[in-house]
Structures are given as C-alpha cells and as structure tokens.
Structure 1
Amino acid sequence: MTVPLTRTLYRTTARAAGGRTGSVLSDDGRLDVRLAPPRKKTPGTTNPEQLFAAGFAACFTSALAEVAAEFGADASAARVACEVRLGTTDTPAGYGLAVDLTVSLAGWRAADLLPLLHRADAVCPYSQAVRGNIELALRAVDDTAADA
C-alpha cells in the first residue's frame, strides 16, 4: 500500500551518470562521488550499496533516538551498523537486496534494547520504504560496558 506524503519536510536530488562505473552528484554539491561496482577495489570510489547502507544506518539511528526519548531513555550514543547485501534472486529481475541492522547501546542488554529497535523500525522512513520488499533483520547486541 502506498502512503502519500501529507507535507514535504525536505527535498533533495542526486544525479547519477554512467551507472555503477560513473558518478553521483547531489544538488547542493556536498555529495560528489565516483562509483565502481561493489567487488572492484577502485581507490576513491564507493558503490550504491554503501550509500544505501550509510543512509539507512543514519536514519535508523535517528529513529531510535526519537523512540528512546519517548520512554525517557537516551539513545544518542547508539551504534548502528547497516549491512547491505546485493545478491541474485529467483525473480524476473534477477537481483535483490537484504539488510541487517545491528545495534548496540552502552549499558543496554540486547533483550532490553530489542523492543526499542522494533519501535524504531516502525517509524524509520527507510524501514518503511523497504518493508515487504526485501529481507530486513534487526539485531540487538549486548553492550553493558557501562555496567562494569
């Protein structure tokens, strides 16, 4: 089901040229990167999967902080790793993505953090965009160093 925006809060445009062996430039020029296919180790380049992982990790971190604040918790120090996998599928398209979000927060046990991850997943725009389209795994990791 498509959910239309009721109000636009931010708008940006990035332009790509040359596909996976080209470049991407944002409308304000702050993002200006050369691209190379994921398995090539070309110095000074990135790939679409890395850009997606960076955006998803940052967005999910913000969603987690917002959700945690609703419960009186501070998640500003959360560490979110977003692993994006590109692979083949048994679909006409032939290719697809899968995402694993692994989250830790100093002083938190995984079992206590996991409910916040599920709530953040419900409000994160990236999570909403991929829901039902790709595999998305949420993993909470113990980080009780602050307890020691």
Structure 2
Amino acid sequence: MAVNVIYKTTAQATGGGRNGHARSDDGSVDVNLVVPKEMGGPGGEGANPEKLFAAGYSACFLGALRGISPKVGVKVPDGTTVQAEIGFGPRSEGGYGITADLTIDLPGLDRAEAEKLVAAAHEICPYSNATRNNLDVGLIIV
C-alpha cells in the first residue's frame, strides 16, 4: 500500500522513555512523560503514550467525520465530540497491547444517519486505517 505523503512531522522522546520527555520538532507538543501508578510508575503530572494516542485518535476521527460528511450527505451537528478511551495491558500472546473505544456524540442526529456517518469516517480515518486488523476499535454512538 502506497501513501502519497503530503505532510510529515517529527517528535523526539528523551530520558527514560515512558518516564522522560517528548517534544515535536516545532515545539507545539512539549510534554513530560510519566508512567501511571497502575503501570508500576510514580504517576503524577505528565502524559504517556496512551494519552497522546487518545488525543490524536479522537481529533483525527472528528476530522474524518467532518471530511466525509459532504460525501455521505450527512451534516456533522454543532457540538459533535469524539472521546477516545485507550487501554493498555499484557497480551495473551505475550508482550503488550492496546484497546481503543471511540464514543461519538452527534447531538440531534438520528441513529441511522449517525451510523452511516461514523462507518464512513471509520473507513477514511488514518488512525482507524493504521489500527485496522491490529486491534478492535469500539465505535459507540451516544
């Protein structure tokens, strides 16, 4: 599968990986990284890869909803939100894995139109395409 790249960005992690720092090349993302207590770390102020993934996936999926809307003939309502819940844990096959559930709120949209829009967005969203066949993504329409 070829991708016609139209944009690239770079970020670098330093320190202890999950306990360290990450910064994008332009400085617009500049975060301290802390391992949560649930994962054996100190917890406290800071982000982790799962938080960053959740922020990215939710924003990307909302963009996909807006991008595909004219093609499927369903208007994205004002006040639409996408919440991504990312889970982390050991895999039965060994190593670690993540889970992803997207909760999509399309206020005032009828169920059939919401399902049509969400399904179409899931087909074009880069995060959905990157995770397809690698993890199950739950799509919850509220």
Match of 1:35 among 24, 33, 36: 33
- Distance in 1 (CA, whole Å) between partners of 2:112 and 2:141 is 7
d(CA) in 2 for partners of 1:132, 1:83:
18
* 1:79 maps to 2:81: yes
Whether 2:30 is the aligned partner of 1:8: answer no
- For 1:105, the equivalent position in structure 2 comes to 106
Runs of at least 5 residues in structure 1 that lack an aligned partner in the other structure: 142-148
Q: Alignment identity in percent?
A: 39
Distance (Å, rounded) in 2 between the aligned partners of 1:117 and 1:134: 18
Q: Which runs of 5+ in 2 are unaligned?
A: none
Match of 2:124 in 1: 123
CA RMSD of aligned residues (A): 1.4
Contact 1:111–1:140 (Cα < 8 Å) also in 2: no
TM-score by length of 1: 0.85
Q: Deviations over 1:30-60 (max 9, x none)?
A: 11100001334312x1111000000000000
What TM-score do the two structures reach when normalised by structure 2? 0.89
Structure 1 residue 23 corresponds to structure 2 residue 25? no
Q: Matched residues in 2 for 1:71 and 1:19: separation? A: 42
* Paired residue total: 136
